Amino acid sequence: MVRIHAPQQMSQEIASRRVKGKDWWVGITSKALIFWAEHLIRKDIKGKENLLEAADHVNKDIGGLIVTPNHNSFVDIILMNQVRNEINPRKSFRVLWANKFTGKDKGKYSETGQEDLRKVLAAGKIGKEIAKMVNIELVDVPQEAKDFGSARNIINQMRSIGEETLGNKNVLGVFPEGTRSRNGMLGEAKRALKVLFNNPAITDKTLILPIAATGTGEYLPPDSEKPNLLAKVSIIYGKPYTYVQAKEEMEMFKLSLETIIMWHIGQLLPEEKWGIYKDTFSRIKAVK
């Protein structure tokens, strides 16, 4: 017997096959990128002792850890994997992942917050797939708020995630800029970062690990799904610091928490990468 499908059913099956094919391609590409990053990419890694100090803090249940890299590419999630490799596998490792379901990019996505596979860049799907493969949980956080109510929901979500993750002495990864730099320079950090530090009983026991990366934007450009496998990547792990130390620096330099967080990243980068923080960081450097 020959089964004849209705046109609507046939179109649904074809669409399903295309989606599966795309997902299959993303999976293969992600595996290849991870292998290349771990074994073949030209990497210059410095400050490994700082990474081990931070990992030891978590592994010994002294407190939680916030990992704060600058952000140039979706494959920056691989930087988180370098930290993940030093953390006890039983420890939870979560990363706040800004999505664009709201704000000025709202038109690119559906009202329900579900991805439109036709309009979401493959590079973003690769980043998410890489995270799954390396046992990192991505937590979607809207990149922008449409109104006061949605802004309050974002703040409450971040506060809850911070207290749960850090309160249980686990690891929370945060890209302070909230989005990828298009020119390789530091962008402005999000003010909402401060809500992660609302509970002194938790944050006073939390370490912050700054990471500076260059070259990842050349390895996988911000708006491309085609990697440049000849790119050279530099990763520097800075000295971990406490929130208590950050508060002292906030008072000393009369600066916000998010600026202090970016300063610890900026110290690891050449001055030409300081971007909008050039004047502020130059002032701090002169005082120190």
Q: What is the pLDDT of residues 223-244, one digit of tens each?
A: 666 778 788 889 999 999 999 9
CA torsion through residues 225, 51, 173, 190, sign: negative
pLDDT at 113 (0 to 100): 44
pLDDT of residue 143: 62
Give the mean model confidence (pLDDT) for residues 76-89.
Answer: 84
d(CA 15, CA 115): 15
Cα 10 to the center of its chain, rounded Å: 40
Whether domain 8-287 has CATH 3.30.70? no
From residue 234, alpha-carbon distances to 37, 87, 229, 231, 269 in Å are 12, 21, 14, 10, 10
Say which residue, 31 or 125, is predicted with more confidence: 31
Helix (H) or strand (E) holding 138: strand 137-142
Cα end-to-end span (Å), the chain = 83
Which residues have CB under 8 Å from 18's CB, separation 6+? Answer: none
